[in-house]
Amino acid sequence: MSASAAGPTFALLEANPGGSPAGHLRFEDENGETYLEPFDLVETLAEILAALGQRAHVYDNGWIEIGDGGLFAFPQLVEFTELDGGTIRTASTIQCNHPQLFPQGLFEYQHATGENFDASIKRGLDQWARTDLMALLDAARPEPENCMSMRMEFGGENGAPLRKRRIVFGPVAHFGRAEQAEAAGACAVDGDEDGHDFCPCCLFTNSLDAFQPLLDAQGVFALRLFASRDHEDGECQADCRVNGEDWPQGLDGLRAYAAAWPTAPGQTLEFRKQYVVVQDAPE
């Protein structure tokens, strides 16, 4: 990677479905007349980061350097859809690169809905800045400042090299959670043998077998974990991606964990979503 005033020269990932970060959208008014509306996701993301107190430097080629730990981000629009009632659903991606940790890059989707395009895209980018970004920034630090983390060791026996891995747990977005302790799937952290209510490690640790290959491998892996349960009919759904691409190995564990969530009277849909970074532990 090299950088100048024009910006870093990271290659955009072929698996990333995002298109241009800026351009014009074509809409049709109530009279059937079409009009164009400009958009600029780089400018929008930079404004959101500034409002949240993050240092962000925008390069000429659209890459944004965030903080002082070497993290770069590049937002792209995937699609937008006009829904009934005039609301807009948007999908975007943000590719992130770090010259030392993940120079090859990784990306993740942002989905949102709003009363217009600007409101929808800002909601998606703002949620990324408040959740996924926190895990990525902490992954670039010797010790996390905002996120819970866990260290695991492998090998070290019979002449095998000792490997140390660190898992950084980003903030959890949740909806419809029961106000009671978990009836099943409780975890034990820092010697808490009795387990406890849901914590930032639970989505990952309750599906640990599925992610063991990522712990055993070398490199950095960013996981999108999502699990939901319809408490009225018991249906459980899940989504799992690694570095932006589908990871079907994690689906069964996430669905099984969601099936163990307790149900409170009157509870309907519940979901939990999180970004988790698996990496070599800093010395």
- pLDDT tens-digit map of 204-216: 999 999 999 999 9
Tens digit of pLDDT for each residue in 73-132? 999 999 999 898 889 999 999 999 999 999 999 999 999 999 999 999 999 999 999 999
- Residue 208, CB half-sphere, CA atoms under 13 Å: how many? 9
* DSSP code for 70: T
Yes or no: say if 172 and 273 are a contact pair by the CB < 8 Å rule. Answer: yes
CB 182 within 8 Å of CB 260: yes
Provide the whole-model pTM.
0.89
Within the chain, all domains assigned CATH 3.30.160 are found at 22-130
| pLDDT per residue as tens, the chain (283 positions) | 444 578 888 999 999 999 999 999 888 777 878 888 899 999 999 999 999 999 999 999 999 999 999 999 999 999 999 898 889 999 999 999 999 999 999 999 999 999 999 999 999 999 999 999 999 999 999 999 999 999 999 877 777 778 899 999 999 998 887 544 343 344 544 434 344 356 889 999 999 999 999 999 989 999 999 999 999 999 999 999 999 999 999 999 999 999 999 888 888 999 999 999 999 998 7
CATH class of 22-130: alpha beta
Segments of the chain assigned E as strands? 22-28, 34-40, 56-58, 64-66, 71-82, 88-98, 102-114, 148-154, 163-169, 173-175, 221-230, 236-242, 245-246, 269-280
